[in-house]
Amino acid sequence: MSESSLRLVWVYPDLLSTYGDQGNALVVERRARLRGLDVQRVDVRSDQPIPTSGDIYLIGGGEDRPQRLAAERLRRDGGLERAVSNGAIVFSVCAGYQILGHAFINDLGEREPGLGLLDVETVRGTGERCVGDVLADIDPQLGLPQLTGFENHQGVTQLGPTAKPFARVRLGRGNGTGDGTEGAYNETVFGTYMHGPVMARNPLIADLLLKLALDVNALPPVDDRWYEALRAERIAAATQPA
């Protein structure tokens, strides 16, 4: 992390911000400020270069054509790969998650190369679209409580040997592979299918990113009353359908 402030980069809101993805940036920013950190948020449009000196990068969900355009522009830019090699933390959602893998199927039905920052590859599912509330257990190594979110995608994402499943679903589809995995991660790069946005329902993920970026083991506590109430309600709603 740079000397004076935490640099939070939101990648391509003009293309990848269909599902309230700004929420993840707002939650990370808010929780950093509540800890007294100075945050510099940089929203990078797809005709601008990706800064390589950020601490945390967020990349969101979007529709099929914008996803292809984003992949093309990110590959051409190369900044995100450089940031990761500099040690930056990246958190990606849905279309953004697929872009960080080796490849996905684009809106033209063709195989579109991704950035290869996560050892995953995505094809298009043949079944029904995965839409609805999800409940999952996050990899215990990450020390996070249950994952609650909303999924809306048709991807089937297979994990390679260097990617670990981010979570295992109890309810919902996750990676769509049928093996119960949801999302993927390595040391610094994370991917999930969870909208919601995911940080609003799982604020401790935001804290995890902050801890990794700051290289600390703990953060001062903040008032999580409303997050806790929302989590309890969504988990109950997912487990006790009307």
Question: Among residues 216 and 225, whose Cβ is nearest to other proteins?
Answer: 225
* Binding flag, residue 152, other proteins (CB under 8 A): yes
DSSP 14: T
* Binding flag, residue 150, other proteins (CB under 8 A): yes
Stretch that binds other proteins, among 19-27, 97-105, 116-124, 210-218 (CB under 8 A): 19-27
- Distance of CA 224 to CAs 41, 135, 159, 204, 221, Å? 23, 20, 33, 10, 9
Stretch that binds other proteins, among 51-59, 61-69, 110-118, 136-144 (CB under 8 A): 61-69
Tokens of 127: 């079944």
Dihedral (C-alpha) 186, 127, 69, 102: value to the nearest 10 degrees? 30
* Binding flag, residue 226, other proteins (CB under 8 A): yes
Residue 140, class by beta-carbon neighbours within 10 Å (0-12 exposed, 13-18 middle, 19+ buried)?
Answer: exposed
* Binding flag, residue 127, other proteins (CB under 8 A): no
Closest CA to 37 of 222, 226, 229, 161: 222
* Binding flag, residue 37, other proteins (CB under 8 A): no
Where does this chain bind other proteins (CB under 8 A)?
13-15, 17-23, 26-27, 30, 45-47, 63-66, 69, 131-132, 150, 152, 195-197, 200, 226-227, 229-230, 233
